[in-house]
Amino acid sequence: MLKNIVYEDEHLIVIFKPAGIATQTARCGQQDMVSELKNYLFQKPERTERGEPYLGVVHRLDQPVSGLLVFARTKQAASELGRQLQKDRLKKNYYAVVCGRPVKESGRLENYLYKDSKTNHSFVVDENTPGAKKAVLDYQRVKTLMVLGEGMEHEAEVSLVDISLLTGRHHQIRAQLSHEGMPILGDGKYGSPYSKELSQRAGCKSVALCAYKLSFEHPVTKKVLTFESRPEEEIFLPFFTR
């Protein structure tokens, strides 16, 4: 069994994707979770069907982001889980380490995002912008710590925030938090000059964003399943050990 499989039955697989690995990629020779899981299913001793195993991609995580993902093992499960995703019944919570301390302890961010496919970048825009899609998330500050990294003369504040994703837009959390003045550490695409410098000083090499909680209704039994997994990246550890 793959070490990052959290749950498995004949209908679905829940895995924890490490940062740096793509959910699915068309690039030749690049590691991705779909290929790893298909190889795992293909080699199962009890397997009876011929050909390539079926694996339905229900949702994705950006390559530099870690966290929980559910994949469907049948077309029926894929259809049902996809329906839950469309109706916002597949719930996802994230931990993010952001630069500074949020002005408000908690709140809801509602913006309109436009995805530039040429640059693979999402921008907060006016709601009347052609192609813009509404993006909504709730956040709650969990803890704020002081960090003193290599070459830093003064301590800086970094905060752990808990995010409940209410819509699933391209790079949504990264773009919205950056727009709100809370760029995520390790985010070279959406970070500010200060957050990028702080990330380098603190040794944060990947986006400090983790999908730590996943909840949905089993596509067959209809039982509500909830999974949680603590972030593995070093930047998160002080928030859970102090």
Q: How many CB atoms lie within 10 A of CB 162?
A: 17
Catalytic residue among 62, 126, 162, 187: 62
Strands 156-165 and 209-217: unpaired
Which is nearest to 100 in space by CA: 207, 209, 192? 192
d(CA 4, CA 68): 9
**62 is annotated as an active-site residue:** yes
Closest CA to 92 of 65, 114, 110, 56: 65
**Angstrom distance (rounded) from CA 81 to CA 169:** 17
Instruction: Give the type of residue at 207.
Output: V
Q: Are 95 and 212 in contact (CB under 8 A)?
A: yes
Catalytic residue numbers, as ranges: 62
